[in-house]
């Protein structure tokens, strides 16, 4: 049950925004094996002047920040990064304009399903992939 924030510059249509979010979600389902309906993804939009970018980045720059339970293998994370880049590339975002970060936290740091500690909940899927 990753929590995801996708940050972009303003100017995309509602359909383009939805496609960005779906592209990131599909990568999580594919690489991390989370259930399809398990989604918590938000879009942050910035006007010019509200976000200082690294040199060489364009107005299509896309930052994907993923907070997830600890335990995914380096291979699963690599598959996630590759899938995000592939999916966003299909939407016209160049690989050089994509930055993905995974922040892992122990399950006991998450209160889910009515405030239960996540390490005491049967998630219905494996975290150690």
DSSP state letters, 41-108: EEEEEE-TTS-PPPTT--TT-EEEEEEEETT--HHHHHHHHHHHHHHHHTTT--GGGEEEEEEEE-GG
- Which one-letter DSSP state was computed for residue 122? -
Does residue 1 carry a pLDDT above 90?
A: no
At 106 the pLDDT is: 95
Distance CA 83, CA 49 (A): 30
Domains of the chain: 3-120 (3.30.429.10)
Q: What is the pTM of this model?
A: 0.94
At 94 the pLDDT is: 98
Does residue 2 carry a pLDDT above 90?
A: yes
Distance CA 57, CA 94 (A): 10
| Tens digits of residue pLDDT in 98-107 | 999 999 999 9
| Tens digits of residue pLDDT in 32-90 | 999 999 999 999 999 989 999 999 999 999 999 999 999 999 999 999 999 999 999 99
Q: Which residues, at least 6 apart from 105, have a Cβ–Cβ distance to it below 8 Å? A: 67, 68, 69, 70
């Amino acid at each position: 049950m990753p929590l995801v924030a996708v940050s972009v510059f303003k100017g995309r249509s509602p359909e383009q925004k939805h496609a960005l979010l779906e592209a990131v979600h599909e990568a999580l389902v594919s690489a991390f094996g989370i259930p399809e309906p398990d989604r918590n993804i938000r879009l942050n939009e910035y006007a010019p002047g509200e976000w200082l970018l690294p040199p060489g980045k364009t107005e299509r720059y896309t930052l994907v920040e993923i907070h997830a339970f600890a335990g995914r293998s380096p291979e699963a994370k690599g598959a996630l990064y590759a899938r995000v880049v592939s999916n966003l590339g299909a939407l016209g975002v160049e690989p050089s304009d994509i930055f993905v970060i995974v922040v892992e936290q122990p399950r006991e740091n998450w209160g889910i399903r009515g405030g239960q500690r996540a390490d005491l909940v049967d998630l219905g899927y494996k975290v150690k992939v």
